[in-house]
């Protein structure tokens, strides 16, 4: 049903040249969460940071935003930019989108990065709670999530304040409700992890209070060609809490994707 939602042209920013590297932000945030690592990455890659529909400067639509729909938005952006293959990296919900992308468009993927994310679907109680919150957001606005969420994202009070302001500025009620409904209905990606042939890195913060780092360890074990980067000092926002570690890991991923592309060409 969600596939009937109209297509949108995502807002994006682009820095650097070389291997296309698309960074997909988490919920309920926008592309600016990647800013701490863009300067390092853009020395070696063409870094594209979109705003998902309903967030930042991208248009919002009403209805459930399935992870597959959001992955289609990324594909449409690649087509607009004449990008055949990209390294796709997602933070948290952006990771669910990256996994949906890997499953639906394996031929367009040259590397996969999953930051503070997981492959499993929601348990029934979590699902129901998301659906209830979506209704609440439609009645009362984004403060329903903006006011309680930042302290769960990070233990750094300064960063939590920054994220509080960001959610108020970047999120629309349609976007928040649409993503909550889409996340509630997302399929379990565990089963298809083993089919992902592109090199993958899983990055997890040891202090993540939203998605326990063990979920990242499970993904790294099930993915075919992957490695795990566990960051002791980070919570749910590793790219903002430990930008150098995350940038290093993603540069390594870009290098591995080049090797993968060569192997593909030779095969």
| Cβ at position 180, least distance to ligand MLT in Å | 8
Count of all residues that appear for the chain in the document? 267
Are 115 and 200 in contact by the 8 Å Cβ rule? The answer is no
- Alpha carbon distance 229, 127 (integer Å): 29
> Judged by CB under 6 A, which of 19, 32, 92, 110 binds ligand MLT?
92
| Cβ at position 15, least distance to ligand MLT in Å | 23
Token pair for 89:
């990296």
> Judged by CB under 6 A, which of 133, 210, 222, 258 binds ligand MLT?
210
| Cβ at position 179, least distance to ligand MLT in Å | 8
Smaller CB distance to ligand MLT: residue 44 or 151? 151
Q: Which of residues 3-32 bind ligand MLT (CB under 6 A)?
A: 26-27
Smaller CB distance to ligand MLT: residue 137 or 260? 137
| Cβ at position 77, least distance to ligand MLT in Å | 19
> Judged by CB under 6 A, which of 52, 183, 234, 246 binds ligand MLT?
183
Q: How many residues bind ligand MLT (CB under 6 A)?
A: 6
Smaller CB distance to ligand MLT: residue 183 or 249? 183
Are 190 and 119 in contact by the 8 Å Cβ rule? The answer is yes
Smaller CB distance to ligand MLT: residue 8 or 93? 93
The tally of CA atoms less than 13 A away on the side-chain side of residue 20 is 20
- Alpha carbon distance 115, 216 (integer Å): 8
| Cβ at position 254, least distance to ligand MLT in Å | 23
Smaller CB distance to ligand MLT: residue 29 or 85? 29
Q: Which of residues 94-153 bind ligand MLT (CB under 6 A)?
A: none
> Judged by CB under 6 A, which of 22, 89, 93, 102 binds ligand MLT?
93
DSSP 84: S
Which of 113, 49, 104 lies closest to 75, judged by CA?
104
Sign (positive/negative) of CA torsion 176, 181, 184, 190? negative
Query: What are the Cα distances from residue 162, in Å, to 79, 93, 236, 245?
Result: 33, 19, 14, 21
| Cβ at position 182, least distance to ligand MLT in Å | 11
Are 40 and 244 in contact by the 8 Å Cβ rule? The answer is yes
Are 207 and 181 in contact by the 8 Å Cβ rule? The answer is no
DSSP 226: E
| Cβ at position 2, least distance to ligand MLT in Å | 17
Query: What are the Cα distances from residue 202, in Å, to 76, 89, 246?
Result: 25, 10, 10
| Cβ at position 145, least distance to ligand MLT in Å | 9
The residues that touch ligand MLT, with contacts defined as CB under 6 A, are 26-27, 92-93, 183, 210
């Amino acid at each position: 049903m969600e596939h009937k939602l109209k297509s949108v042209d995502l807002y994006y920013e682009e820095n650097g040249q070389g291997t296309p590297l698309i960074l997909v932000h988490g919920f309920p945030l926008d592309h600016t969460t990647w800013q701490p690592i863009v300067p390092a990455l853009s020395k070696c890659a063409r870094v594209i940071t979109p705003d998902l529909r309903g967030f930042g400067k991208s248009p919002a639509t009403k209805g459930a935003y399935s992870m597959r729909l959001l992955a289609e938005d990324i594909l449409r952006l690649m087509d607009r930019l004449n990008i055949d293959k990209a390294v796709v990296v997602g933070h948290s919900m952006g990771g669910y989108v990256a996994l949906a992308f890997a499953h639906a468009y394996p031929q367009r993927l040259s590397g996969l990065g999953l930051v503070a994310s997981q492959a499993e679907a929601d348990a029934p109680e979590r699902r129901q709670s998301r659906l209830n919150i979506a209704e609440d957001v439609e009645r009362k606005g984004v403060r329903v999530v903006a006011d309680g969420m930042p302290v769960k994202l990070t233990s750094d009070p300064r960063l939590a304040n920054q994220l509080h302001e960001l959610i108020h500025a970047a999120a629309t009620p349609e976007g928040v409700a649409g993503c909550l409904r889409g996340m509630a209905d997302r399929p379990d990606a565990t089963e298809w992890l083993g089919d992902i042939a592109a090199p993958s890195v899983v990055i997890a913060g040891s202090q993540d209070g939203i998605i326990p780092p063990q979920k990242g360890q499970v993904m790294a074990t099930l993915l075919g060609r992957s490695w795990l980067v566990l960051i002791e000092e980070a919570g749910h926002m590793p790219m903002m809490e430990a930008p150098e570690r995350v940038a290093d890991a993603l540069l390594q991923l870009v290098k591995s994707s080049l090797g993968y592309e060569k192997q593909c060409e030779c095969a």
